[in-house]
Amino acid sequence: MARSNKNLNEILDELSKTNNVNIVAVVGRDGFVIDSAGSTNIDMDGLGAMVATSIGTSESLGGEFALGELSQYLVEYSSGKIIMATVGNDILAVITDTDAVIGAIRYAIKKIIGEVEKAL
């Protein structure tokens, strides 16, 4: 089944303009980047592969402890943060700098997740 990216890039671009957000990407479970917005100075193929692997591992962890479906996954590093959220069978990944207000970004993700799923 072919994917329709008609409005996906506009949705991702809007989210990428949130304060302190650097990159927004939608990644398939196979690790391929479907679409992205924001900074282009990173290895998007590497990002896709690592995001898909991270979500798969986290879902297995939640399944092992009967915690239900994964909604969002947050990882904090010394130079930034990565927030991943499931979107149907795909993954939304948001990379921020250290000053990002996580609550605001998580709220923005929850607001647009339905739009992203429809655009896919």
For 13-30, how does the pLDDT look when each residue is reduced to its tens digit (9 = 90+)? 999 999 999 999 999 999
CA-nearest of 109, 42, 34 to 71 is 109
Q: How many CB atoms lie within 10 A of CB 96?
A: 21
Quote the CATH superfamily of domain 8-119.
Answer: Dynein light chain 2a, cytoplasmic (3.30.450.30)
What are the structural domain ranges in the chain? 8-119
CA-nearest of 75, 80, 1 to 39 is 80
pTM of the model: 0.88
Residues 93-102 pLDDT 10s = 999 999 999 9
Q: What span, in angstroms and rounded, lies between the C-alpha atoms of 68 and 13?
A: 31
